[in-house]
């Protein structure tokens, strides 16, 4: 059975996973080739760049996708084209502003950080910010017209360019005994080349569509549309900035609070239980949820705009899909946290002892994270794009307050930070669902199917853990984990068929056509 929604979700998920793997593999030789000082310069510049391009990478593509889907629902091709043309001009201006700002501030920021040699990395990333902005309008257009394979492939090309060209330039300069500041700049230059390659790809794909340009593309002629775009962009950008800001706060508060509690030099090591050992694993799961959010936004927007009879069912199935994906991933990480870390770091027994409980707690938060991201895509699709931002902000406040309190309890220590993150996701997801249920009435079958999903996950976990225990003595920890995962997949798929949580009619309703 062919289903466009499932196919596109799978494509985006696989591409996202490949991008993560490339990013992880890229850092290994980069860290080997570059001296520690060069790595430091590289690391100082990147967070500023990442923060400044939130609008280009997250907010604007989502807004363009929504507006494009709205016009598409009305079969208004001219309106779609106008949104694209105005957005493209707008992002060129934004890209130039970002380029100038980052270039002008490079000296001040690098000096303030205590590493003035990082200035060249800032200059290179300033150029990258322009090409990233140029990409935004194209990606938003392809997302809005539900050509998600182009959206995903453009991201893959960007990552390949970043890793391949960046690594090549670092290697070439290292053979020439170039200074550390140049090596760092070469490493960051991959971001610029990757964004350029991606831009060439999406621009070529758009050109092949042979879409007739709109009559007027001067920004001054389309003030109402620009105001509408900006009105939507800033709340979404603010929401996308909350978690990066919390990461910066975490880096300071967690170590400081643990030292206050009496852990001294251990505080830094305990912090790695979250940042190094746990978060990368959670991020792998998040790839699927991000793909789900990207897929849901244009689909829900189109159904909502058309007042489709299947609108309510699409919303319900979007939420159900989040549960179907988030629960097994979250419970799997939580129950097998120690085994996962042993599989990845077999020679880090002491670190695993401390990190496993942290990963287990964060694993429980994965289901809430899945629900939050799916409901965010749905709420954005029904013009309630400010609500997820407010709800995430409430979750962030809960996180900061509870982290401060729980980190002060010696028996909890770093686990307190993980619990605070779990609570943040739970609060944000719950508030999103409250808003959603106020505006969209779920079918009566939703509660029954949610309960069946929970039951299926319980059976899956018991079977997976049981099989792991049975074969552990014969196969060892690493192979036994793979057996447990295989059993989990088979049992979960079997339970889905047995309980009929997802039917053929459901898949048809989720089709993007």
pLDDT for residue 1: 37
Query: Is the separation of the CB atoms in 323 and 369 below 8 Å?
Result: no
Rounded to two decimals, the pTM is: 0.81
Alpha-carbon gap, residue 22 to 40, rounded angstroms: 21
Alpha-carbon gap, residue 298 to 369, rounded angstroms: 20
Beta-strand runs (E) in 440-495: none
CA 359 to chain centre: 18
Other CB atoms closer than 10 Å to residue 28's CB: what's the count? Answer: 9
Domains of the chain, by residue range, sit at 1-217, 235-513
pLDDT for residue 409: 92
CA 462 to chain centre: 30
CA distances from 307 to 8, 273, 484 (A): 23, 48, 45
Alpha-carbon gap, residue 196 to 165, rounded angstroms: 12
Three-state SS annotation for 125-159: HHHHHHHHHHHHHHHHHHHHCCCHHHHHHHHHHHH
**Would you state the structure tokens that stand for residue 477, as one six-digit string?**
């920890």
Alpha-carbon gap, residue 133 to 1, rounded angstroms: 38
**Would you state the structure tokens that stand for residue 315, as one six-digit string?**
């919303």
pLDDT for residue 36: 74
Query: Is the separation of the CB atoms in 426 and 404 below 8 Å?
Result: no
Helices 60-73 and 119-144 cross at an angle (nearest 10°) of: 10
pLDDT for residue 390: 92
Q: pLDDT means per 10 residues in the chain (513 residues)?
A: 66 82 75 77 75 78 86 83 86 89 87 81 90 88 86 90 88 87 87 92 88 62 80 81 72 83 83 82 85 84 82 87 93 94 86 91 93 92 89 92 93 92 94 94 85 94 95 90 95 91 69 53
Give the three-class secondary structure for 370. helix
pLDDT for residue 218: 62
């Amino acid at each position: 059975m062919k289903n466009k929604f499932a196919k596109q979700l799978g494509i985006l998920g696989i591409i996202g996973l490949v991008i993560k793997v490339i990013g992880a593999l890229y850092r290994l030789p980069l860290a080997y080739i570059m001296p520690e000082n060069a790595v430091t310069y590289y690391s100082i510049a990147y967070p500023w760049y990442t923060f400044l391009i939130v609008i280009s990478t997250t907010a604007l593509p989502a807004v363009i996708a929504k507006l494009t889907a709205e016009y598409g629902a009305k079969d208004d091709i001219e309106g779609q084209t106008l949104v694209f043309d105005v957005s493209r001009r707008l992002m060129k201006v934004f890209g130039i502003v970002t380029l100038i700002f980052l270039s002008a501030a490079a000296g001040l920021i690098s000096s303030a950080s205590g590493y003035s040699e990082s200035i060249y990395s800032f200059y290179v990333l300033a150029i990258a910010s322009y090409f990233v902005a140029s990409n935004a309008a194209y990606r938003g257009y392809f997302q809005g017209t539900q050509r998600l394979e182009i959206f995903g492939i453009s991201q893959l090309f960007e990552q390949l360019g970043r890793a391949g060209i960046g690594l090549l330039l670092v290697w070439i300069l290292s053979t020439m005994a170039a200074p550390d500041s140049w090596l760092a700049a070469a490493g960051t230059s991959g971001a610029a080349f990757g964004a350029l390659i991606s831009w060439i790809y999406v621009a070529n794909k758009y050109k092949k569509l042979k879409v007739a340009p709109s009559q007027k593309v001067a920004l001054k002629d389309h003030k109402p549309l620009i105001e509408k775009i900006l009105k939507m962009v800033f709340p979404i950008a603010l929401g996308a900035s909350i978690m990066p800001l919390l990461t910066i706060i975490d880096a300071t508060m967690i170590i400081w609070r643990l030292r206050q509690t009496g852990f001294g030099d251990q505080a830094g090591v305990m912090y790695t239980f979250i940042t190094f050992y746990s978060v990368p694993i959670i991020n792998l799961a998040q790839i699927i949820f991000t793909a789900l959010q990207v897929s849901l936004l244009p689909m829900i927007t189109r159904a909502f705009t058309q007042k489709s009879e299947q609108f309510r069912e699409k919303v319900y199935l979007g939420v159900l899909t989040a549960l179907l994906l988030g629960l097994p991933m979250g419970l799997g990480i939580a129950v097998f946290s120690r085994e996962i870390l042993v599989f990845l770091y077999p020679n880090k027994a002491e670190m695993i002892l401390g990190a496993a409980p942290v990963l287990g707690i964060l694993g429980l938060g994965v289901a809430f994270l899945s629900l939050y991201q799916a409901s965010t895509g749905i709420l954005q699709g029904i013009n309630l794009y400010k609500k997820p931002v407010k709800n995430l902000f409430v979750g962030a406040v809960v996180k900061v307050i509870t982290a401060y309190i729980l980190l002060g309890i010696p028996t909890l220590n770093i686990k307190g930070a993980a619990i605070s993150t779990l609570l943040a996701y739970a609060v944000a997801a719950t508030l999103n669902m409250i808003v959603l249920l106020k505006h969209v009435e779920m079918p009566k079958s939703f509660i029954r199917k949610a309960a069946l999903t929970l039951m299926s996950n319980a059976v899956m976990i018991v079977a997976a853990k049981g099989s792991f225990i049975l074969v552990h003595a014969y196969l060892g920890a690493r192979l036994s984990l793979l057996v447990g995962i295989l059993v989990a997949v088979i049992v979960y798929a079997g339970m889905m068929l047995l309980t009929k949580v997802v039917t053929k009619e459901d898949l048809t309703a989720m089709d993007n056509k």
